[in-house]
Structure 1
Amino acid sequence: MTADPSAPLVTILDDEPAIRAMLSDALEEAGFRTMSFGRATEFEAALQSATPDVCLVDLSLPDKDGLTLVHRLALEQGATVIIISGRAQVQDRITGLELGADDYIIKPFDPTEVVARVRARLRRGQPQQQSGNTASFSGWTAHFDSYLLEDETGDKTPMSHAEGQVLRLFLERPKRLISRAVMQEILGGAAGESFDRAMDVRISRLRTKLKEDPKNPRLIKTIYGAGYIFLGDVSWR
Structure 2
Amino acid sequence: MSDSPLVTILDDEPAIRAMLTQALEEAGFRTMSFSRATEFEAALKTTTPDVCLVDLSLPDRDGLTLVHRLALEQGATVIIISGRAQVQDRVTGLELGADDYIIKPFDPAEVVARIRARLRKPTPAQLSGETARFNGWTAHFDRYLLIDDTDRETPFSHAEGEVLRLFLERPKRLISRAMMQEMLGGAAGESFDRAMDVRISRLRTKLREDPKNPRLIKTIYGAGYIFLGDVSWR
Q: TM-score range by the shorter chain?
A: 0.5 to 0.7
Q: How does 1:130-169 map to 2 (within 5 A)?
A: 164-165=174-175, 167=177
CA–CA distance in structure 1, aligned partners of residues 215 and 80 of structure 2: 34
1:39 corresponds to 2:57: no
The residue identity in structure 2 corresponding to 1:31 is: G
Change (3 A) 1:201 1:22: closer
TM-score (norm. length: structure 2): 0.61
Which of 54, 59, 62 pairs up with 1:57?
Answer: 54
Q: Deviations over 1:49-96 (max 9, x none)?
A: 110000000000000000000000010111110000000111111110
Counterpart for residue 233 of structure 1: none
Runs of 4+ in 1 over 6 A off after TM superposition: 197-201
Q: How does 1:1-237 map to 2 (within 5 A)?
A: 4-125=1-122, 164-165=174-175, 167=177, 170-171=180-181, 172=183, 175-176=195-196, 177-179=199-201, 182=204, 192=210, 195-196=213-214, 202-203=220-221, 206=222
CA–CA distance in structure 1, aligned partners of residues 93 and 74 of structure 2: 16
The residue identity in structure 2 corresponding to 1:41 is: T
> Could you say what secondary structure the match of 1:50 adopts?
coil
> Could you say what secondary structure the match of 1:56 adopts?
strand
- Report the alpha carbon displacement of residue 192 of structure 1 after superposing the two structures with TM: 4.9
The residue identity in structure 1 corresponding to 2:200 is: I
User: How large is the Cα RMSD of the aligned pairs?
Assistant: 3.3
TM-score (norm. length: structure 1): 0.60
The residue identity in structure 2 corresponding to 1:83 is: I
Change (3 A) 1:22 1:180: closer
Change (3 A) 1:193 1:39: closer
- Report the alpha carbon displacement of residue 164 of structure 1 after superposing the two structures with TM: 4.3
CA–CA distance in structure 1, aligned partners of residues 14 and 67 of structure 2: 20
CA–CA distance in structure 2, aligned partners of residues 26 and 96 of structure 1: 24
